[in-house]
Amino acid sequence: MEIAVGSRSSISPAPLPPRTHIHVTTKSSSLSLRFLKNSFFGSKLASCLTAEAPFRFSSPNLLRSSIKCSSSPATEVSTEKKSHVMRRSDIRNIAIVAHVDHGKTTLVDAMLRQAKVFRDNQFVKERIMDSNDLERERGITILSKNTSITYNDTKINIIDTPGHSDFGGEVERILNMVEGVLLVVDSVEGPMPQTRFVLKKALEFGHAVIVVVNKIDRPSARPDFVVNSTFELFIELNASDEQCDFQVIYASGIKGIAGLEPDNLADDLGPLFESILRCIPGPCIEKDGALQMLATNIEYDDHKGRIAIGRVHAGTLHRGMDVRICTSEESFRFGRVSELFVYEKFYRVPAESVEAGDICAVSGIGDIQIGETIAEKSNGKPLPTITVEEPTVKMAFSVNISPFVGREGKYVTSRNLRDRLSRELERNLAMKVEDGETADSFIVSGRGTLHITILIENMRREGFEFMVGPPKVINKRVNDKLLEPYEIAIVEVPEEHMGSVVELLGKRRGQMFDMQGVGSEGTTHLKYKIPTRGLLGLRNAILTASRGTAILNTIFDSYGPWAGDISTRDQGSLVSCEDGTSTSYALSSSQERGQMFIKPGVDVYKGQIVGIHQRPGDLSLNVCKKKAATNIRSNKEQTVVLDTPLDYSLDDCIEYIEEDELVEVTPLSIRMCKNPKLSKRTK
């Protein structure tokens, strides 16, 4: 029997002495090959190598050489079936994934600067990839973005992805376009809920992973703990031995430095770029095969219309080419590629043709949808469609029925609302829209309240005026048993406020399964499994309980048994009982009943929520009452001192409202009111 390693060596069999070991050494700072004894090399080579013929890999590339074992003399491996399959060495396609606020976009900024994408004297704003106004306001990435750089004559296509779990559908789509990911982990926090989600998806695709321990310059950085925690996460997610031997890079995105050791950083991101070229494989393509390109993302241009973005999996795509657009094996239609673009640096650049393996943008196909395949016109075949996880939260959208309808909005009808929600479904695969109980209402389902809130905010800025109901979880019934979604909640809270936070989570049916102290700062990490119902309205409540010091992160876990009734709000609302304009005289007495949302001079209507009652149950108030103008000289003028009204955002309103309440959304105002169809009896 012989064993052939690639085509370079042939080693005669001989029994191996008991204490003879095989050592594989590399120059990278990745984890050692601790699983070698369980891998193919450990089991097969250990039975074949002799003690007199020591075996050593002189190059990391030999680790990937093909191995063939047989009882006959070694023969050349047949490549007849893969004659057209090859890997492109001049391209790398990578996605940058991480938990929210771990520094993905800042790291991309540094990579673009050091790749000379911008001029030395060019002013570049921070987080250049977050081009959307809403993204810059909230400081989070909502939509995935494409860019590319060139390093050592190799084109690196980079895709920046969202970090919040509510936008996990964006990450799932993008992983279809790449061969590897940069998993960015905070040097203090370590792996967080979204880290687990994106890593699980990347491992399911079989992608190569480079772990980037970011913010290594923080005083409380603990790189060893972070790397060990990340390794344990790989094991929990059933990663293969090869995937567990990941490359680790220590970096500071804001300073633009990286290195293979935490205390030995280079002056630039060179070690990161070198690791990308060495550890991320090039795209595996079928250059001479029939054209196949999967539309993974959709953008809209005022002049070019719909633009489909995706990777060419096989063949070559040309400008002006007639193609077949495949939805399934049986369903297809024809179209023409009017314009073709590739990503160079930070821009889309026109191209005449794009070969397999590269990421490109196509215009001219006005009705193309995400998940469809652009294929050869004559005999094109579709690629597997994109699948994302099911939504867990739903909200009711309806036309505005308040007395102020039409004052501030441009689009107010149910037809406007239906058309806008239909357009959202074309790009947002993780969202679903269904007809409501009435003709002018719709049920919008998403991955979380933030997922739907971003849609509401975008529609509001576009001139829409409508109403939304409180968020509700999407339950399932399996074998006559009612199941509801559960999530993993991680709370980072100082020790002095831990008691009140634990009490709050206990009331919401949360079950603690882990508690750890973090460093010497007196901070504790609490891990809970809690029903999604218990998370509705929790963020503000937990900030109040911890005096603004707690940090809450959540991720969907699974469906479980119904946990029982959960009370999410102990206080009622202060409700206006009259139409008019609020006055200082009326508010001075009303504020004794609770905290007010409005100030003097604000137009209100009957049924509008104007504050929070200090006791359970709703209370009707007249906030428009004026001081009597008779006998004004009998008493001296009294100075009215008003409390500062509560400042509330769209997110706060959606968290606050209950079953019988609505949020009125207009381009200029956000109001809360009682639902006239479900309003409880006020005191």
- In whole angstroms, give the CA distance from residue 471 to residue 636: 50
Question: Helix axis angle, 498-507 relative to 538-545, nearest 10°?
Answer: 150
- For the cut 50, the answer to whether the pLDDT of residue 40 exceeds it is no
Both 91 and 117 in one domain: the answer is yes
pLDDT at 13: 41
User: Do 556 and 649 share a domain, yes or no?
Assistant: no
Q: What is the pLDDT of residues 269-324, one digit of tens each?
A: 889 999 999 999 988 887 778 888 998 888 877 788 888 999 898 889 999 999 99
pLDDT digits (tens, 9 = 90+) for 49-74: 333 333 333 333 433 333 333 333 33
Q: Identify whether residues 291 and 315 lie together within a single domain.
A: yes
Residues 49, 110 within the same domain: no
Give the CATH number of the domain where residue 554 resides.
3.30.70.240
The mean pLDDT of 148-169, rounded to a whole number, is 82
Say if residue 130's pLDDT is above 90: no
Where residue 230 falls among pLDDT bands split at 50, 70, 90?
A: very high
pLDDT per position as a tens digit, 74-117:
333 333 334 467 888 889 999 888 887 777 778 888 888 877 66
Q: Is residue 138 part of a domain?
A: yes
**332-341 per-position pLDDT tens digit:** 889 999 999 9
Of 577, 605, 571, 606, give the one whose Cα is nearest residue 590.
Answer: 577
pLDDT at 634: 62
Point out the domain boundary residue: 282, 312, 327: 282
Q: pLDDT at residue 42 above 60?
A: no
Position 634 in a domain = no
**16 and 59 share one domain:** yes
Query: Using an 8 Å Cβ cutoff, are 551 and 491 in contact?
Result: yes
Q: Is there a single domain that holds both residue 358 and residue 290?
A: yes
**Confidence band for 21, pLDDT divided at 50, 70 and 90:** very low
**Final residue belonging to a domain, choices 224, 255, 282:** 282
Residue 205: pLDDT band by 50, 70, 90 thresholds? confident
Say whether pLDDT at 28 is over 60.
no
- The verdict on residue 81 lying in a domain is no
pLDDT at 39 over 70: no
pLDDT in the model for residue 453: 92
Higher pLDDT residue, 174 or 120? Answer: 174
Mean confidence (pLDDT) of the chain: 80
**Are 488 and 528 in the same domain?**
yes
The tens digit of pLDDT for each residue in 608-644 reads 999 999 888 889 999 898 877 666 566 666 677 788 8
3-state secondary structure of 216: coil
Q: Do 17 and 129 belong together in one domain?
A: no
- CB 580, CB 624: distance < 8 Å: yes
Query: Nearest CA to 130 among 151, 107, 114?
Result: 107
Q: Has residue 611 been placed in a domain?
A: yes
Shared domain for 299 and 339, answered yes or no, is yes
How many separate domains does the chain show?
A: 5
The string over 357-395, giving b where at least 16 C-beta atoms fall within 10 Å of a residue's C-beta and e elsewhere, is bbbbbbbbbeebbbbbbbbbbeebbbbeebebeebbbbb
Q: What percent of the chain has pLDDT over 70?
A: 81
Per-residue confidence (pLDDT) for residue 662, from 0 to 100: 93
Say whether pLDDT at 458 is over 80.
yes
Q: Is the pLDDT of residue 468 over 90?
A: yes
List C-alpha distances in Å: 448 to 94, 155, 252, 537.
27, 36, 31, 12
CATH number at residue 338: 2.40.30.10
The most distant pair of C-alpha atoms in the chain lies apart, rounded to whole Å, by: 118
Q: Is residue 410 part of a domain?
A: no
% of the chain with per-residue pLDDT over 90? 25
pLDDT at 521 (0 to 100): 67
Statement to judge: residues 269 and 144 lie in one domain: yes
Residue 18 has pLDDT above 50, yes or no: no
**Would residue 535 count as lying in a domain?**
yes
Tell me, what's the pLDDT at 25? 38
Residue 50 is predicted with a pLDDT of 38
Give me the mean pLDDT over the 563-581 stretch.
87
Choose the final residue of a domain: 20, 44, 70. 70
Of 301 and 674, more confident: 674
Instruction: Over range 348-352, report the average pLDDT.
Output: 89
Q: Token pair of 489, please? A: 């909640």
Confidence of residue 581 (pLDDT cuts 50, 70, 90): very high
CA–CA dist 384, 348 (Å, integer):
27
Burial group, residue 330, by CB count within 10 angstroms (0-12, 13-18, 19+): exposed
> Which of 67-71, 99-103, 157-161, 210-214 reaches the highest mean pLDDT?
210-214
User: 126 with 183, same domain?
Assistant: yes
pLDDT at residue number 637 = 64
Per-residue pLDDT band at 123 (split at 50, 70, 90): low
Element (H, E) at 232: helix 223-236
pTM across the whole model: 0.74
Residue 114 placed within a domain: yes
Contacts 24+ apart (CB under 8 A), 79-82: none
Residues 262 and 341 placed together within one structural domain of the fold? no
What's the pLDDT at 408?
A: 87
In terms of residue numbers, what domain contains 47? 2-70
Whether residue 43 lies inside any domain: the answer is yes
Mean pLDDT of 228-256: 90
pLDDT at 204 (0 to 100): 87
